[in-house]
Amino acid sequence: MTDDEQYDSEAIHDGLRKVYEVSEYLKFPFTVEEVANYFLPKSNLTPQQLKSILTNGKFDDLGFKLRDGYLTTNDDQTQQSRSETEQMSADKLNSATSFANLLTQVIPFIRTVAVTGSVAYGSATKWDDIDLFIVTKRNRLWISALLTLVLVRLDKLLILRPPHLSHFCLSYVHDEHGFSKESQRNRSNALFARELLKAKPVAGTREYRKILEENYWVADYYSGPYREKLRSLSGNLNGATISGGAGSPALSFLMEWVEGMTYVVLSRYLRLRAYLTNLKLKSEGKDRRVFDPIVTSESCVYTSNFYRWLRSLWGG
């Protein structure tokens, strides 16, 4: 029996069709290794096995071309174009690392900061946002979000870095309790598992590793990459600055009041800003970038039409 006969050919074909759609839309060629590890959940295919399947001509109807380890959908997708987006993504990741270090020095409630989206996948173009995934101490999300937005604004006003490297977006922010509930709701969501696994921690790596360990179900979808990610993180456990204790009852009460008031004011501001941003995006014909702000006392998540499309492909 050949390698490809040991696997569900129909499921692999369907998974590769989804990869083709996304690759064509993004104008971004994925490697065979990336597709095997992250885009065919539960298949447990090795890159070598996937390459064997692709070269036997069985899935030629999909239109992929295998070039130097890359799966391309058209002649515009080259190793050079891929290298350019990888370099841009690396520059943005370095910028995020510098900014995250500042955040954890100034804001004592942040547990971990990671980069998600196009930067994490290596597909970022010059003006793509740097999407930040932040988890804070419980009941300190909105104070942390306010201080982060102030620092983002100061970073731009003072021109501390080139403009395209200061496009920080608080696209996925939770306090500890909010993220715990979110991850429980998404235990059957292969896309959520992949996004969590592909995130690049830039501060609070110890806390990020703890999050992965607590969400061991991610290994049900991507067993090899999950084990490898935990292994790679074990040697790089930088910690975020975290407040030591609860403080006096009076201080605790004051902080709870400030958190509540900040939530009321800032959540309204973010909804208004999202509305105005979406009007601009629609006028420019960028419908897939239009997003909904999902705001609660424990979470602030921007869900774009592009993410909804991905969820229709891989979500639970």
Tens of pLDDT, residue by residue over 162-204, are 999 999 999 999 999 999 999 999 999 999 999 999 999 999 9
pLDDT over 90 (residue 8): no
Q: Are residues 233 and 102 in the same domain?
A: yes
The pLDDT value given to residue 235: 75
- The model's pLDDT over 125-157, given as tens digits with 9 standing for 90+, comes to 999 999 999 999 999 999 999 999 999 999 999
30, 48, 77: which is the final residue of a domain?
A: 77
Q: Are residues 65 and 115 in the same domain?
A: no
Closest listed residue to residue 137, CA positions, set 296, 234, 246, 266: 246
Q: Are residues 246 and 122 in the same domain?
A: yes
Q: How far apart are CA 299 and CA 176, in angstroms?
A: 9
CA distances 233 to 3, 110, 230, Å, are 32, 19, 5
The pLDDT value given to residue 31: 97
Residue 253 has a CB neighbour count (10 Å cut-off) of: 11
Residue 234 · residue 209 · CB < 8 Å: yes
- 5: pLDDT confidence band, cut at 50, 70 and 90? low
Q: How far apart are CA 10 and CA 149, in angstroms?
A: 47
- The model's pLDDT over 232-281, given as tens digits with 9 standing for 90+, comes to 998 776 554 444 455 688 888 999 999 999 999 999 999 999 999 999 99
Residue type, 252: S
Q: How far apart are CA 239 and CA 241, in angstroms?
A: 7
Beta strand pairing status for 291-295 and 200-203? unpaired
- 1: pLDDT confidence band, cut at 50, 70 and 90? very low
Domain that holds residue 63: 3-77
Q: How far apart are CA 161 and CA 155, in angstroms?
A: 8
Q: Which residue has the tokens 């590890």?
A: 37
Instruction: State the first-to-last Cα distance of the chain, in angstroms, to the nearest integer.
Output: 32
- The model's pLDDT over 155-167, given as tens digits with 9 standing for 90+, comes to 999 999 999 999 9
Q: Which residue has the higher pLDDT, 245 or 62?
A: 62
Mean pLDDT over 48-65 rounds to: 91
Query: Percentage of the chain surpassing pLDDT 70?
Result: 94
Mean pLDDT over 1-5 rounds to: 47
Return phi, psi of residue 205, to 5°: -60, -35
Q: Are residues 289 and 165 in the same domain?
A: yes
The pLDDT value given to residue 4: 45
Residue 49 half-sphere exposure toward CB, CA atoms < 13 A: 17
77, 102, 119: which is the final residue of a domain?
A: 77
Coil, strand or helix: which one is 244? coil
24, 53, 77: which is the final residue of a domain?
A: 77
Mean pLDDT over 211-221 rounds to: 97
The pLDDT value given to residue 248: 82
Q: Are residues 73 and 174 in the same domain?
A: no
Q: Is residue 118 part of a domain?
A: yes
- 316: pLDDT confidence band, cut at 50, 70 and 90? low
Structure token pair of residue 223: 């067993």
CA distances 69 to 5, 50, 81, 312, Å, are 22, 11, 14, 27
pLDDT, mean over the chain: 93
Q: How far apart are CA 25 and CA 267, in angstroms?
A: 32
Q: Is residue 82 part of a domain?
A: no
Closest listed residue to residue 71, CA positions, set 7, 16, 9: 16
Q: What is the DSSP letter of 41?
A: T
The pLDDT value given to residue 7: 78
Structure token pair of residue 137: 């101490």
Question: What is the number of domains present in the chain?
Answer: 2
